[in-house]
Amino acid sequence: MLPCYVLLDLETTGGNAQRDQITEIAAVRVEHGVEVARWSTLVNPGVHISSFIEQLTGISNAMVADAPRFDEVVPQLLKLLDGAVLVAHNVRFDHGFLLHALARLDVALRCKTLCTVRLSRLLYPGVKGHGLDAIMQRHGISTESRHRALGDVLVMQTWLAQVTQQFGAEHLQRQAQVLLQGSAALPPQLDTNVADIPEGPGVYLFYGESALPIYVGKSVRLRSRVMSHFSASSREPREMRIAQEIRRIEWIETAGEVGALLLEARLVKQHQPLHNRQLRRENNLCAWRLDANPNARPLLSLVRGAELSPQQFGQLYGPYRSKNQALSSLRELAEQHQLCPQALGLESGKGRCFAHQIGHCKGVCCGEETPERHHLRLQLALSANKLRVWPFGGPVGLREHNPHTGQADIHLFDQWCHLATVRSDEELTDALQTRTEVLAFDLDSYRLALKYLTPPGKSGTTVLELGSMREKDL
């Protein structure tokens, strides 16, 4: 199949490579089609083996009590793997455990991997079921040591011998090389051909068993970004969970980064994927409104919902994802600029505030500072957080063009809100004429529009002021 490879299987105390430990290792090294070494050992995991794992594998706490520790068997393991491709059934599991176990010893593992689950899928595309039990049943392979490391390795070895005889050594080697080009890192249960994913900008959606996506992401290089999820899955818990749950991938190409960002934010809010965190729907957004009267108490009031209107941004400061974040930010400003907590509404009471007593307030609460001066200092302190007034007379379009695909998108914005993305004059006219909904503030759209619609802007984009259709290159 390959010039040099090692068939390997591990038994462990559980399925989490970061938390669980190895209890048994078996390996068979094959060079130029000939077995040159066979090795198997129990490993003392240093932790208790649960009754469930004991029943599954047959490995008990008593059996590993006098077994060598993992650090003691590492030299033999690395000797076997030297210069070889690591081959395993669901190689992600075994490779991930080895990476973590060796990392705890400050030892790096550098070897290519090949998954026999994916090899089975490649050889038998019309067959369902590529787990080891399914392969054993389909090919008439038996073992008395299922779920023991050496027993499972010998099943893989027998299966490889059968498929070599069926397809021929050259064909099997070509298929193995296909997997070694990068797809060996993919989850074995993934049905999507990753080679079909374009390398340009867009959004990708990971699906599990259900019709709703479990994760939505974006990138200017779709295929590379998708592959990075799987290469990181043996190191990062979230990526590992995604790799275990994923079944298929869908993608939507965009003209550029702006379209990908907008589409990602919309899809995450629409579907609420389990593994997305940052872009979920913002139900608690709020901002501070400053009273124009310096003598008002409190000077600031918290606004949210419909009151958080782009038409009012000239008097609003923020935005904040929650009331707690807004209060925390205001307390920091008060301490940093010696503002009065009483006047701001952060502290109840009348007369001299506690902050003044310890030298952290300039005394608007007790007549040592005028309300007008305190009000002015408050405005200056808040100025960095002031929400920007919409700088255009109406809706505008941000045009993106992809020179490689020829795709051009126009992203329509009004009052910092994303209205639609269109690709033709007809779609543009329809989007503007049929717009009836009240604009709802969205933090992600606001930040993106602020970044791309205001100077200096970004290269590769053009702002279209739709009232006059005048173009202004940024």
- The CA distance from 454 to 416, in Å, is 11
Q: What whole-number distance in Å separates Cα of residue 232 and Cα of residue 444? A: 27
Question: What's the CA gap between 107 and 83, in Å, rounded?
Answer: 16
* 147 is an active site residue: yes
Please give the angle made by the CA atoms of 388, 392 and 394, to the nearest 5 degrees.
120
Residue 306 is classified by DSSP as G
What DSSP string runs through 207-237? Answer: E-SSSSEEEEEEESSHHHHHHHHHHTTTT-H
From the candidates 100, 130, 147, 374, give the one annotated as an active-site residue.
Answer: 147
- Measure the CA–CA gap between 149 and 133, rounded to whole angstroms: 14
Q: Are 290 and 299 in contact (CB under 8 A)?
A: yes
Residue 307 CA, distance from chain mean position: 33
- Residue (of 3, 43, 2, 45) closest to 26 by Cα position: 43
Q: Which residue has the tokens 């099943």?
A: 155
456 with 474: CB under 8 angstroms? Answer: yes
DSSP state of 108: -
DSSP annotation string for 350-389: SSS-HHHHTT-S-SGGGTSS-HHHHHHHHHHHHGGGBPPP
Shortest CA distance to 288 belongs to which of 382, 179, 178?
Answer: 382
* Distance of alpha carbon 49 from alpha carbon 54, whole angstroms: 7
- The residue written with tokens 């009232």 in the block is 467
Q: What is the torsional sign of CA 288, 289, 292, 295?
A: negative
Residue 233 sits at the vertex; the CA angle it makes with 160 and 186, to the nearest 5 degrees, is 40
Q: Indicate the burial class of 210 (C-beta count within 10 angstroms; 0-12, 13-18, 19 or more).
A: exposed
**Helix ranges restricted to H, 248-314:** 257-271
Q: How far apart are CA 346 and CA 298, in angstroms?
A: 9
3-state class (DSSP) for residue 162 = helix
Active site residues: 147
